[in-house]
Amino acid sequence: MEDWKTAASAATTSSLPPQVVISPCAACKILRRRCVEKCTLAPYFPPTEPLKFAVAHRVFGASNIIKLLQGVPESQRADAVDSMVYEANARMRDPVYGCAGAICQLQKQIIELQTELAKAEAQILNMKSQKMINFAETLQYQESIIQQQPFDNSSSFFFDADNVGLDNWEPSWK
Ligand SMILES: [Zn+2]
């Protein structure tokens, strides 16, 4: 009793966090069993996240979770637990389809968004070609004005003189 008291006061006065986890892991707490030092579930179900194990246990059962973890290399166990917890949550939300329901929903969303994107791209192409047509029409209009200018302009004799000059030049090129 005395030793425990001194150890407790030493732990509270120490600036370092206590090395030993006082409470059992979330899994052992829910299963009402003693959490041993080499508890398979302890690294993945800390006492701070009790819901994580509760959900996985409700859907898969503790023995299946342990069996599955024992068949997986230690380096992949954290991912396996994340996957199981995710699947368990999905199955709680949608008992019939679970994760498959979410995947179907997302695939539907992808198709809808792809259709929307294709429509937007078609609209952009349409607007671009319309812009090209407008530009070509403006060019044609400007060209027609330039062609009309020598006849409308009061200084048309300059152009006439040039034309005469060009007419004289052209045959020498050919
Ligand atoms: Zn444990």
Ligand 1 centroid to residue 67 C-alpha, Å: 15
- List own/partner pairs for 61-65 with CB under 8 A and 24 or more apart: 62/27, 62/31, 65/27, 65/41
Ligand 1 centroid to residue 2 C-alpha, Å: 28
Residue 3 within a domain: no
Confidence of residue 10 (pLDDT cuts 50, 70, 90): very low
Ligand 1 centroid to residue 84 C-alpha, Å: 17
Say yes or no: 24 and 89 in one domain.
yes
Ligand 1 centroid to residue 60 C-alpha, Å: 17
* Residue 32 region by backbone torsions, left for phi larger than 0, else alpha for psi between -120 and 50, else beta: left
Residue 171 within a domain: no
Which residue blocks in the chain are alpha helix, DSSP H? Answer: 2-13, 26-31, 50-60, 62-70, 74-93, 98-152, 156-173
Confidence of residue 20 (pLDDT cuts 50, 70, 90): low
How far apart CA 79 and CA 43 sit, in angstroms, is 12
Query: Which domain does 142 fall in, by range?
Result: 98-150
Residue 156 within a domain: no
pLDDT higher than threshold 70 for residue 100: yes
Confidence of residue 9 (pLDDT cuts 50, 70, 90): very low
Say yes or no: 24 and 88 in one domain.
yes
Confidence of residue 3 (pLDDT cuts 50, 70, 90): very low
Say yes or no: 89 and 106 in one domain.
no
Tens-place pLDDT, residues 31-85: 999 999 999 999 999 999 999 999 999 999 999 999 999 999 999 999 999 999 9
Tens-place pLDDT, residues 125-151: 999 999 999 999 999 999 888 887 665
> Residue 124's pLDDT is what?
97
Residue 13 within a domain: no
Q: How many structural domains comprise the chain?
A: 2
> Residue 145's pLDDT is what?
87
Say yes or no: 89 and 102 in one domain.
no
pLDDT higher than threshold 80 for residue 168: no
